[in-house]
Amino acid sequence: MNATQRLPALGWTEELGEAFTTYGKRGFEPARVVAEHRGGYYVRGDEGDRLASVRTRWRDGHELAGEMPAVGDWVAVVDAGPGKAAIEAVLPRRTKVSRKTPWLKAEEQVLVANVDTIFLVAGLDGDFNVRRLERYLIAAWDSGANPVVVLTKLDLCADRTPVLEAEAVAMGVPVVAVSSFTGEGVDALERWLEPAKTIVLLGSSGVGKSTLINYLAGREVMDIGRLRNDGRGRHTTRHRQLLVLRDGTLLIDTPGLREFQIWEGDIDAAFTDIAGWAAQCRFGDCSHTVEPGCAVLANVAPDRLKSYFKLKRELEAVEARTNVRLHRERKRRWIQRSREVKRAKRHGTY
């Protein structure tokens, strides 16, 4: 593939070209982040693949030119030596998949950006968890991309109950059961495989993401790990990376997610059944806990309602922590700015 074909094949659009105009005039090049490692990023552009790092002044928070990069992002880069580049800015994102950082601090972690479709992958084995799927669906609806539930290991599932459970909670979302071993059901995924379109696979370890990718690619492009002694999956994918299938579809693989705390989202978008029944409650301010004439209590399964309240509390807690953190950060900056003004006045430079 020559340089003039590379950017469009990676999903470059006219809108991105307009957003890049200012950087182009300053001598920067457009590139897409195709992998993220502890040592930095790999970006792909007209110059091919290069190891890239974020400029130090940007990482320290000075002259912030955008978000920290994530796989799938389009970035403005400048040459930094043979096979290397420096990232100046992240271009505006069409979509992004985020979670709360898996520790106590209330911060957003962008997993991937600029994806068109999200394959929410779950295995039809002992690790299937419908409550976990509800959590993924909230993040998927909030991302701006189109979610698809992909249930793998169909050849190991004699009971169709997990499929029915997934269909019951994934309202308005396609649910496709497949076997990457026999090939059953995989053809149903073809409708989302399009040249220059980006798909991300999200799911826990051991659900069969790597096996599915190899089947879709028609060759072995991902290592496949065995299950541990406790039946849980191993991390065969150690970093997020963008792959190109034979038909030009862009596929982003991600490490298995042991923990997925939602960052933000519309609960009602993932729990449309509860929102619908709530409109029929006797009282307009019904809490759906003890009120007489509560349509939600009468029609929604207790486990699903419990999950709804749990996720709602989780989002409220994240929002409260974020507001406190932002308030403290604004106060710190205001104090710092006041000190700078006083210092400048003393030296007659204000």
- At 317, the pLDDT band (50, 70, 90 cuts) reads confident
pLDDT for the residue numbered 279: 93
- At 350, the pLDDT band (50, 70, 90 cuts) reads very low
How far apart are alpha carbons 63 and 55 in whole angstroms? 11
> Is pLDDT at 136 greater than 80 in this prediction?
yes
pLDDT for the residue numbered 18: 94
Query: What are the CA-CA distances from residue 89 to residues 17, 43, 69, 328 (Å)?
Result: 14, 13, 8, 26
> Is pLDDT at 260 greater than 90 in this prediction?
no
How far apart are alpha carbons 73 and 111 in whole angstroms? 10
Catalogue all structural domains in the chain, each as residue range(s) with its CATH number. 3-90 (2.40.50.140), 96-253 (3.40.50.300)
Phi, psi angles (nearest 5°) of residue 7: -65, -50
pLDDT for the residue numbered 112: 94
> Is pLDDT at 34 greater than 60 in this prediction?
yes
> Is pLDDT at 310 greater than 80 in this prediction?
yes
For the segment 103-107, the average pLDDT, to the nearest whole number, is 66
**CA 200-206-210 angle, 5° bins:** 45
Return all residues near 159 (Cβ < 8 A) that are at least 6 apart: none
Helices (H), the chain: 3-9, 14-25, 56-59, 130-143, 161-169, 209-217, 267-270, 272-278, 295-299, 302-346
Strands 84-90 and 40-45: unpaired
pLDDT for the residue numbered 322: 67
How far apart are alpha carbons 331 and 185 in whole angstroms? 55
Q: Is 342 left (phi over 0), alpha (psi -120 to 50) or beta?
A: alpha
> pLDDT (tens digit, 9 = 90+) per residue, 195-249?
999 999 998 888 988 889 988 887 776 655 544 444 444 444 457 899 999 889 9
Q: Is 190 left (phi over 0), alpha (psi -120 to 50) or beta?
A: alpha
For the segment 61-87, the average pLDDT, to the nearest whole number, is 82
Higher-pLDDT residue of 98 and 150 is: 150
Contact call for residues 179 and 187 (beta carbons, < 8 A): no
Tokens of 186: 């995989």
> Is pLDDT at 326 greater than 60 in this prediction?
no
pLDDT for the residue numbered 314: 84
Mean pLDDT of the chain: 84
Contact call for residues 212 and 185 (beta carbons, < 8 A): no
pLDDT for the residue numbered 342: 76
pLDDT for the residue numbered 45: 93
Strands 198-202 and 250-253: parallel
- At 43, the pLDDT band (50, 70, 90 cuts) reads very high
How far apart are alpha carbons 140 and 265 in whole angstroms? 9
> Is pLDDT at 155 greater than 50 in this prediction?
yes
Query: Quick one: what percent of the chain has pLDDT higher than 90?
Result: 51
pLDDT for the residue numbered 61: 43
> Is pLDDT at 337 greater than 90 in this prediction?
no
pLDDT for the residue numbered 343: 74
- At 349, the pLDDT band (50, 70, 90 cuts) reads low
Q: Is the dihedral of CA 105, 111, 117, 119 positive or negative?
A: negative
Q: Which of 2-11, 40-49, 247-256 has the lowest mean pLDDT?
A: 2-11
3-class DSSP state for residue 329?
helix
3-state helix, strand, coil in the chain (%, to 5): 35, 20, 40
> Is pLDDT at 63 greater than 80 in this prediction?
no
> Is pLDDT at 130 greater than 80 in this prediction?
yes
